[in-house]
Amino acid sequence: MRDLDKKSRGYILDKHDLLWIGGLIGIVILTRIPFLDTGFGRADAWRVAVCGKFLVEMGEYFPSRPPGFPLLEILSAGSYFLFLGSKLTWVFLNAFTTVIFCYSVYLIFKLARHWNLSSPILIAVIYAFAPLNWVYSVETIDYVWVEFLLLSGIVILADKQRPGGKHPGLFHGLILSLAVAARFLAIVPAVANLYVFGKISKDNFRVAVITFTAGIVIFYGIVFADIRDWGNYFEWFTHLNKITSGYAETGGGVFVRKYLVPASSLFGPLASIGIIAGIIYGAKNIRNRLKERFGAAFLCILMCVCIMAPYLWHLHQNYWIPAIPFILLLLGMAVDWKYLLIIAIFVTGSNFPWWKQNVEGLGSSISGPIAPYQNVTIFEESKMRKILMSSVEELVNANLPDDWVIMSSFRLPLIQFYIPGIEKIEIGDNSDITGWRSPDGGPVFVYLLSPGEAGSAIESDFHVVYLPGIDSTYKASYDVEIWEVDGVEMLYREGDEGLTVFE
């Protein structure tokens, strides 16, 4: 167990190490500050925020997505309670996530130094500026939290003792239960981590297992005890399977959508290819480390497999984010600092607009399905969030008629958050069709209505409209073009320059 021995050369960080990592974390903080006030992030992040809002306002739990993400949902409720839905609600949560991410930058540096890898600071730089890490380190969602907590579990394995304490089993079990509370499928790498802990710290293993199990029971016991409509709860999974299958068909084939895109989008096309090539090239170095059964290479490979394998049924590059640190640690075992420097340049450069423009031309010249190879830069991400928030603010303040039903798709959680005291109501005489409305009246907002549901709403004297940009989602969900549904129209607004759409 030489790799995990805390007496290994280089484990204690000296002044130069602290200066390097302190400078890097300072840069990370400065580069995140401009993006803290850009809302919670994408639709799933707003769903977490809405879950917290409903807990505070209604005292009722609506899971942001099954099976529930209690760690972030509880934090969201606390932030909403403190700041009452003002912009400080998302600034606080985004800043909290950024702080957690900064600590994970420190942890990956610490592990790389502990394991005597090539240039720990370059590994930390690549980790800090990997495009998806940058985007989600200023967003209220679980990916970065799972990264941080799983990394913390590995650090405990390397330490074999909580800093300043004598209860590594208790601390290890707690950390891993929090990872599962952040995202349920983190239970796979968490159990693997716990298994290794039992092999190298048998005296504390029972305490770790008890703490881990108790944490999961407490978090998910609260979640499941509060679910009042199990029919709707499981219906969400049916909807997910249907829509992801539809996207695979409309997006250019299963292989491109499910296998090529996640790998290429992880750091940027050339960086991803370079990382894979580097690991293959240095496989001999990794193999030499594998002679130590529970050493660094074994742990990193185990974490990568356990994080990525559960998502083979529904691949998306975001789901693989927690594997990023372990992929980079494997790369550090395989290559020298010069190779890492080249990867660091490509990774950092992939965050800037020129990179997207270059790759966009390549993608569009080959075929449509290759377009996902291009990266969305953090700057475009920030612009998208601000435009989305301003358009939703305009929509909820537009004084639209009470007899309108508006299909909102990904905008629905933003609408639910922006309307104070929003209520769930039945649409017409059909109790199976429900939507959300302000207690002061106004239109009813829904995610989507099937053609049959839209017809039922129209028969109940509602005017059914939809917001621009939801065409592909509707097609994937119901295999029907939305403009072909009888009686359904796109929502327009009157502007200074005539009739324009909400965008």
Domain boundary among 349, 374, 406: 349
pLDDT for res 174:
95
Mark whether 336 and 438 lie in a shared domain: no
Mark whether 403 and 302 lie in a shared domain: no
Mark whether 287 and 415 lie in a shared domain: no
Mark whether 128 and 49 lie in a shared domain: yes
Mark whether 12 and 70 lie in a shared domain: yes
Structure-model confidence comparison of residues 37 and 240, the more confident one: 37
Mark whether 301 and 209 lie in a shared domain: yes
pLDDT for res 288:
92
Mark whether 232 and 324 lie in a shared domain: yes
Q: Are strands 423-427 and 430-437 parallel, antiparallel or unpaired?
A: antiparallel
The amino acid at 435: G
pLDDT for res 232:
63
Domain boundary among 291, 314, 349: 349
> Is 110 inside any structural domain?
yes
Q: What is the dihedral of CA 410, 238, 140, 175, to 10 degrees?
A: 180
Mark whether 148 and 248 lie in a shared domain: yes
pLDDT for res 162:
44
- Please give the model's pTM, rounded to 2 decimal places: 0.88
For residue 14, give Cα distances in angstroms to 21, 220, 341, 360.
11, 42, 22, 44
Q: Are strands 498-501 and 404-407 parallel, antiparallel or unpaired?
A: unpaired
> Is 58 inside any structural domain?
yes
Q: What is the dihedral of CA 428, 434, 435, 439, to 10 degrees?
A: 70
pLDDT digits (tens, 9 = 90+) for 344-362: 998 988 887 654 444 444 3
Mark whether 335 and 421 lie in a shared domain: no
For 64, the token pair is 């942001």
> Is 327 inside any structural domain?
yes
**Percent residues over pLDDT 70 in the chain:** 80
* Per-residue pLDDT band at 202 (split at 50, 70, 90): confident
Specify whether the CB–CB gap between 309 and 237 falls below 8 A.
no
Which of 305, 291, 230, 243 minimizes the C-alpha distance to 473?
243
* Structural element, H or E, at residue 434: strand 430-437
> Is 471 inside any structural domain?
yes
Mark whether 61 and 201 lie in a shared domain: yes
> Is 365 inside any structural domain?
no
> Is 388 inside any structural domain?
no
Structure-model confidence comparison of residues 494 and 88, the more confident one: 88
Structure-model confidence comparison of residues 228 and 65, the more confident one: 65
> Is 372 inside any structural domain?
no
Q: Which domain holds residue 441?
A: 397-501
Mark whether 324 and 412 lie in a shared domain: no
Q: What is the mean pLDDT of the chain?
A: 83
> Is 37 inside any structural domain?
yes
pLDDT for res 501:
42
Counting the structural domains of the chain, the total is 2
Q: Has residue 2 got a pLDDT over 70?
A: no
Choose the weakest-confidence range: 9-18, 43-52, 228-237, 486-495: 228-237
Q: Has residue 18 got a pLDDT over 60?
A: yes
pLDDT digits (tens, 9 = 90+) for 116-163: 998 999 999 999 999 889 999 999 899 999 999 999 999 888 765 444
pLDDT for res 272:
84
Mark whether 311 and 405 lie in a shared domain: no
Domain boundary among 328, 349, 370: 349
Q: Has residue 370 got a pLDDT over 90?
A: no
